[in-house]
Chain A
Amino acid sequence: MSTSNHHTDDHLQHHFKDEDQQFESSKLGMWIFLVTEMLMFGGLFVAYIIYRAWHPDLFYLAAQELDAGLGALNTVVLIASSLTIALAIRSLQLDEFKKSIQYLSATLVLAATFLVIKYIEYTDKFAKGILPGGHYSYEGISHEMAANFFSIYYLMTGLHGIHVLLGMGLIGWMIIKVRKRSVHSRYFTPVENTGLFWHLVDIIWIFLFPLLYLID
């Protein structure tokens, strides 16, 4: 980055005193970023809660349309991916680059699986005419506000899906970084932060799953 870099370690930016300070700073930064993510999703959760409090019957009826099996499967997939990325970080901290890449790739595959399952769910809904908002045309739910439930459903899972995509991008990038050995046991901040992000994506799904799929 900046001009006068008299330090030996090329990851240390000039305005930091030492590696520790830099690592802690990025990690704190990442955590605060996660806070903003949670509040952003939080807005949708609030909308969800309000509408559910207003129309419990709607949520019950509409949730029947969702495939809890696929949802549960996706939960497993995401939790597994959370585990693999945690293991990837651990391997990296031990300088086991090969293993780390394997774990990261596994995470990537799991994330892709998640999206494929989501894709199946979406196409299935679309085929029935369950589309977000004004495009909704499904007749199978006898509730006048059925479209609203699915609006919330699509917004929540859609925003989450975008985060999964972002996470996949980050993980892919981390694989390249590990390949190039530009991260290692003394400097693994980017991977660590990617991991944090990915776990958050997992946590959000952990809440989405029972709230959207398991209503009885």
Chain B
Amino acid sequence: MAETSKQTISIREYPVDEHPDKNYLNHDKGILSWLITLDHKRIGLLYLGSITFFFFLGGVLALLLRTELLTPAQSILDADTYNQIFTLHGAIMIFLFIIPSIPAALGNFFLPMMIGAKDVAFPRLNLASFWIYVAGALFALFSIVTGAVDTGWTFYTPYSTETGTAVVSMTLGVFIMGFSSILTGINFIVTLHKLRSPGQAWGKMPLFLWSLYATAIIQILATPVLAITLLLLIMERVLGVGIFDPALGGDPILYQHFFWFYSHPAVYIMIVPAFGIISELISVFSRKTIFGYWAIALSSLAIAFIGFLVWGHHMFVSGQSELSSVVFSFLTFFVGVPTGIKIFNWVATLYKGSIDLKTPMLYALAFLFLFTIGGLTGIMIGALSVNVHLHDTYYIVAHFHYVMMGGTVIALLGGIHYWWPKMTGRMYNEVWGKITCAVIFFSFNMTFLPQFVMGSQGMPRRYFNYLEEFQGLHQFSTIGSYILGLGFVMMALYLAYSLFRGPKAPPNPWGARSLEWMTSSPPTHHNFEYTPVILHGPYDHHQPEHEFRMGLVSESKETHG
């Protein structure tokens, strides 16, 4: 628990064993030792591998979409295939990639380390959550084999109850993955409450953990509703229960309420952990105490809470009552306030810092650029009368790619580079890192900026054919997406290279202050060979580094009694 016991405890500095022979990677050998591992770090890597795979899969599907959109009429895909591909692209990117991405991969790896714990509170649940995720993913992929789903990732009724495709196995897959998400959430909350090292008050927790905490709260409160929604949808198909299907007396708008009650908060499951990463990056690479620690920490909770009140902004033209549209629009804007607070505090942190433009920092700055655009366009479409025009056009597509790809994915990339030395024990190539970051940044804008224009000109989304007048913009966007793909291939190459040939990483290459850097790279099986004691805040760059490596002198006397 957090508070130090009343007995006097003695602490001393524990120097880091720079390159211990045994680390978590070679602690046990063999594939099986990975597949049934209870080590949060290995589970984190398992997740990281899986989400990378699904990101590439989703990305390749996106390139197919973009290729079809090169010409106004049919070129390489027919209408049904196109519909299935954007559905799969959306569903894979959302449920298989972005929701588990930061929390389950980086969060699993670093949450226990950042609080000086040996593991999460329930390691077995953690492993279970990974395998549940895999099982869900298999169901989802199975749906492709059995005829694919063509409903859009939103599974709106009654189309989803009528279309002849494999909606049941897809939704079952998503249903199952929900439990994986819930288990991760439970695990994180309990771990943060109960396993923090001595001295680590809430105010000394890295902001990444605050963001994971807020995320976990959303996960446990929203995901069950998704579960019941999908269960009802499945029952609708299997038994014809008639809650959502108008042909049976149900109400399709009710389905949308249920769906967005989960899926709007879910967008904060995606972005809030990204905020956490950005807080770490900005502080570390300007070597400066974070500005407005509490403002940033608490705004995550505020976003999580307000995020539950605004789901109806996806439904302004759905036929819900005007009254609720007005209320939802009003509440929607208030998410912008805590988000803005974060952004301004990050900018203020840069002030008088010592800014080092390493690759992770470049990603952080790219994030600020892209996410602000995505967020401000969110305000645009939250405005009632404008939304009527922009709803279900490419403007929306551009908005959510700016926040999800330009926000979450860019932050994830920043985080991966930042923690790469810690996770793998190797340094990546800085020059290639920067070049790739630039390529991704520019081609991303090239892909999605034109979509704002198309959208406001009236180009509807989920359109397989379109009017000639949009062809120029579509082609520009498609070419951008190819370059974007190239950027990711470059990244895959230099990161893979660094795994084998990269120079060995020191324990703390960036001069950071949070706990995960106070052990060897890669860490040993138990993270720390002692119980860490926290004296300073995680961003106290003005304190000498060795004071962050304190630990209890003798562990065994610490038990109660």
Contact = CB atoms under 8 A, between A and B. Distances in A.
B248 A21 contact: no
Nearest to A12: B559
Interface in A102-135: 132-135
Interface string A1-31: 1101000000001111110110011101100
B240 A134 contact: yes
Contact of B242 (A2, A15, A133): A133
A155 B235 contact: yes
A-B residue pairs, 6 tightest by C-beta: A134-B240, A43-B228, A151-B241, A40-B224, A15-B118, A133-B239
A86 interface: no
A148 B241 CA distance: 6
Contact of B224 (A25, A39, A133): A39
A95 interface: no
A32 B189 contact: yes
B contact face: mostly helix, strand, loop, or mixed: helix
Contact of B194 (A24, A37, A42): A24
A135 B240 CA distance: 8
A77 B118 CA distance: 45
Contact of A39 (B119, B189, B195, B225): B225
A216 interface: no
A44 B227 CA distance: 11
A133 B254 CA distance: 17
A43 B248 contact: no
A18 B124 contact: no
Contacts, number: 132
A44 B254 CA distance: 12
B190 A32 contact: yes
Contacts of A33: 182, 186
A204 interface: no
Contacts of B248: 133-134, 147-148
B102 interface: no
21 contacts: A15-B121, A15-B123, A17-B559, A20-B560, A21-B195, A25-B122, A25-B194, A26-B122, A32-B189, A32-B190, A36-B221, A36-B224, A38-B224, A40-B224, A42-B228, A43-B232, A132-B235, A133-B241, A134-B241, A147-B242, A152-B241
A76 interface: no
Contacts of A155: 232, 235, 241
A35 interface: yes
B123 A25 contact: no
A215 interface: no
A24 B196 CA distance: 13
A166 interface: no
A13 to B, nearest CB: 8
A28 B254 CA distance: 33
A24 B191 CA distance: 11
B265 to A, nearest CB: 11
Most buried by B among A28, A37, A44, A50: A28
Contacts of A43: 224-225, 227-229, 232, 258
A28 B221 contact: no
Contacts of A32: 185-186, 189-190, 220
A155 B38 CA distance: 36
Given A25-B195, A36-B186, A133-B240, 9 more contacts: A15-B117, A25-B194, A29-B121, A29-B122, A32-B186, A36-B223, A43-B232, A47-B232, A47-B258
Given A21-B195, A40-B227, A43-B224, A29 B190 contact: yes
A2 B224 contact: no
Interface in A173-216: none
A94 B194 CA distance: 27
Interface in B152-178: none
A145 interface: yes
Most buried by A among B225, B241, B254, B560: B241
Nearest to A145: B249
B89 to A, nearest CB: 27
Interface in B218-263: 220-225, 227-229, 232, 235-236, 239-243, 248-251, 254, 258
Nearest to A21: B194
Contacts of B526: 4, 14
Contacts of A134: 239-242, 248
Given A40-B227, A43-B229, A148-B243, A28 B193 contact: yes
B435 interface: no
B379 to A, nearest CB: 29
Contacts of B229: 43
B60 interface: no
B186 A18 contact: no
B190 A25 contact: yes
Contacts of B348: none
A147 B242 CA distance: 8
Interface string B120-131: 111111000000
A18 B224 CA distance: 32
Interface in B89-146: 112, 117-125
B250 A39 contact: no
Most buried by B among A16, A39, A148: A39
B321 to A, nearest CB: 13
A136 B125 CA distance: 40
B9 interface: no
A25 B242 contact: no
Contacts of A18: 559-560
A36 B560 contact: no
Interface in A136-172: 144-145, 147-148, 151-152, 154-155
A197 to B, nearest CB: 14
A148 B249 contact: yes
Contacts of A24: 194
B295 interface: no
Nearest to A23: B194
B558 A35 contact: no
B1 interface: yes
B186 A133 contact: no
Given A17-B558, A21-B194, A148-B249, A47 B123 contact: no
B290 to A, nearest CB: 28
